[in-house]
Amino acid sequence: MNPSVKNRIARDDPDSMPTETVFVGIGGNIGDSVTIVEQTLVQLNNIRGCDLSGQSSLYRSEAVSDIPQDDYINAVVMIDTSLDPLALLLELEAIEHAYYRQRDPDLPNAPRTLDLDIILFGNRVISDSHLTIPHPRFATRLFVLEPMLEIADDRFIPGFGSLSFLIDQAPDIEMIKLDA
């Protein structure tokens, strides 16, 4: 069995499935982003086969884009899930769609109401036309790394290093932790 799979099979529930720990980045900068992110936290915990096991504080960070735009509200959550990666991706896209997320392939860093990205999915490495895990830019994004450190301790990520190492190497951006 994959060592990143948690064997959370209840002895009294033969239908329980093993779960994997997933980190999901949350961000948005159109509309009331704080409220949207807070509502998204509730929706993530309501996905069938998912258990929200950790959530970071909210952070306000400058946009990482050539397009002038407002600051983002960001957070990272840790989810234990029995879903496969593509099924989870579809659930996340449905939540984005509920907040009128628009995707323009010509403007990948455009402003958005809500962005949900699978950062890590256990120790899996996936690269296909639908999904890339680990997220291709997570290691250079302080708005992902700082909140992730808050809930994952100084996790070592195979092929990348520890979160504290990645934070030291990431380009600096203006970022503030919001009060709870």
Give the residue extent of every domain in the chain.
18-177
From the candidates 112, 141, 153, 172, which is the catalytic residue?
112
**Is the per-residue pLDDT at 44 higher than 60?**
yes
pLDDT of residue 121: 97
pLDDT of residue 11: 38
How do residues 3-15 score in pLDDT, each as one tens digit?
Answer: 344 444 433 444 5
How do residues 28-43 score in pLDDT, each as one tens digit?
Answer: 999 999 999 999 999 9
From the candidates 51, 71, 80, 101, which is the catalytic residue?
101
Q: Active-site residue 155, yes or no?
A: no
Residues 101-122, mean pLDDT to the nearest whole number: 85
pLDDT of residue 6: 44
Confidence grade of residue 16 (pLDDT, cut at 50, 70, 90): low
Residues 24-28, mean pLDDT to the nearest whole number: 97
Q: Active-site residue 70, yes or no?
A: no
- Residue 86: both structure tokens together: 């593509």
pLDDT of residue 10: 38
From the candidates 115, 128, 137, 154, which is the catalytic residue?
115
- Do 88 and 22 contact (CB within 8 A), yes or no? yes
pLDDT of residue 180: 59
Q: How many CA atoms lie within 13 A of 85 on its CB side?
A: 20
How do residues 133-179 score in pLDDT, each as one tens digit?
Answer: 999 999 999 999 999 999 998 999 989 999 999 999 999 999 999 97
How do residues 50-86 score in pLDDT, each as one tens digit?
Answer: 999 999 999 999 998 878 889 999 999 999 999 999 9
Q: Report which secondary-structure segment, H or E, holds 145.
A: helix 142-152
How far apart CA 169 and CA 31 sit, in angstroms, is: 32
Higher pLDDT: 124 or 65? It is 124
Q: Active-site residue 112, yes or no?
A: yes
User: pTM for this structure?
Assistant: 0.88
| CATH for 18-177 (3.40.30.10, 3.30.70.560, 3.90.1150.10, 3.30.830.10) | 3.30.70.560
Q: Active-site residue 80, yes or no?
A: no
